[in-house]
Amino acid sequence: MGFYPTRYEEIPNVDLLTWIFGGPEYDQDKDIYIDALDSTRRTTNRQARSTVRKLIYGFKLLGIKPGDSVLVHSFSDIMYPILYLGIIGAGASFVGSNPGNTPIELAHIFSQASIQCIITSPEQHSTIMLSINNISVPISHNNILIFNTPHHPSIPDGFQSWETLLKHGETPWEYFKDEKLSKEAITSLFSTSGTTGTPKIAALSHHATIARCIASYDPHPKPYPVSRLLCLPMFHGVAATASHIDPLRYGIPTYILPRFSLFPFLDAIEKYNVTETSMVPVIMSMILRGEAGTEEYTKRKLNSLRLVRCAGAPLDLGVQTSFQGQLDVNAKIQRAWGLTEFGTVTSFLQGEKDETGSCGRLLVNVEARIIDATGLEIFEEDVSGEVLVRGPSMATRYLGNEQATTDAFADGWLKTGDIAYCKAGKWYLVGRSKDMIKVRGWQVAPAELESCLMEHPYVTDVAVIGIKSTSQETELPRAYVVLRQTSDSKSEMEIPTEEELKTFLGSRLAKYKALGGGVRFVESLPKTATGKTMKLVLQEAALKELRNR
Give the number of C-alpha atoms closer than 13 A to the C-alpha of residue 24, restricted to the C-beta side.
Answer: 9
Domain assignment present for residue 368? The answer is yes
Percent of the chain at pLDDT > 70 equals 95
- From 401, 48, 389, select the one nearest 194 (Cα to Cα): 401
- Express each pLDDT in 231-288 by its tens digit: 988 998 878 899 999 999 999 999 999 999 999 999 999 999 999 999 988 788 788 8
Residues 222 and 334 in one domain: yes
According to DSSP, the β-strands at 426-432 and 437-439 are: unpaired
| Total count of domains within the chain | 2
Dump the DSSP string for 441-484.
Answer: TEEE-HHHHHHHHTTSTTEEEEEEEEEE-SSSSSEEEEEEEEEP
413 and 509 assigned to the same domain: no
Q: Are 446 and 388 members of one domain?
A: no
pLDDT in tens, 327-376: 999 999 999 999 999 999 999 877 788 889 899 999 999 999 999 878 89
CATH of the domain at 239: 3.40.50.12780
DSSP-derived 3-state class of residue 39: coil
For residue 32, what is the enclosing H or E element?
A: strand 31-35
Confidence of residue 528 (pLDDT cuts 50, 70, 90): low
The answer to whether residues 457 and 392 belong to one domain is no
Q: How many residues does the chain have?
A: 549
0.75 surpassed by pTM: yes
The last residue of one of the domains, among 423, 454, 470, is: 423
Judged against a pLDDT cut of 90, whether residue 138 lies above it is answered with: no
Confidence at residue 492, expressed as pLDDT on a 0 to 100 scale: 60
Mean pLDDT for the chain overall? 91
Spatial neighbors of 462 by CB under 8 A, at least 6 apart, are 450, 453, 454, 479, 480, 481, 482, 525
In a domain, 9, yes or no: no
Q: Are residues 318 and 460 in the same domain?
A: no
How distant, in Å, are the alpha carbons of 62, 84, 218 from that of 113?
Answer: 19, 17, 34
What does the alpha-carbon distance between residue 121 and residue 125 come to, in Å, rounded to a whole number?
Answer: 6
The winner for highest mean pLDDT among 8-12, 111-115, 278-282, 288-292 is 8-12
Residues 371 and 479 in one domain: no
Residue 505: give its domain's CATH number: 3.30.300.30
Task: Taking residues 221-238, report their average pLDDT.
Answer: 92
Considering the domain architecture, whether residues 447 and 409 belong to the same structural domain is answered as no
Q: Are residues 201 and 173 in the same domain?
A: yes
In a domain, 302, yes or no: yes
Look at residue 414 and give its three-state secondary structure. strand
Answer yes or no: is pLDDT of 491 > 70: no
Local structure of 228: helix, strand or coil: strand
Q: Which DSSP state fits 185?
A: S
Q: What is the mean pLDDT of residues 26-35?
A: 97
What residue numbers bound the domain in which 450 lies? 436-548
295 and 354 share a domain? yes
In a domain, 510, yes or no: yes
Is the model's pLDDT at 1 over the cut of 70?
A: no
User: Please, are residues 285 and 471 in contact by the beta-carbon 8 Å criterion?
Assistant: no
pLDDT tens digits along 281-309? 878 878 887 778 888 999 999 999 999 99
Identify whether 441 is part of a domain.
Answer: yes
In a domain, 104, yes or no: yes
Q: Indicate if 287 and 326 belong to the same structural domain.
A: yes
Q: Is 1 within a domain?
A: no
Domain boundary among 423, 455, 483: 423
Cβ 458 vs Cβ 483: under 8 Å: yes
Is 312's pLDDT higher than 60? Answer: yes
Whole-number pLDDT of residue 532: 65
Q: Mean pLDDT highest for which of 56-65, 377-386, 479-488, 528-537?
A: 56-65
For residue 155, the model assigns a pLDDT of: 97
In terms of domains, do 52 and 156 share one?
Answer: yes
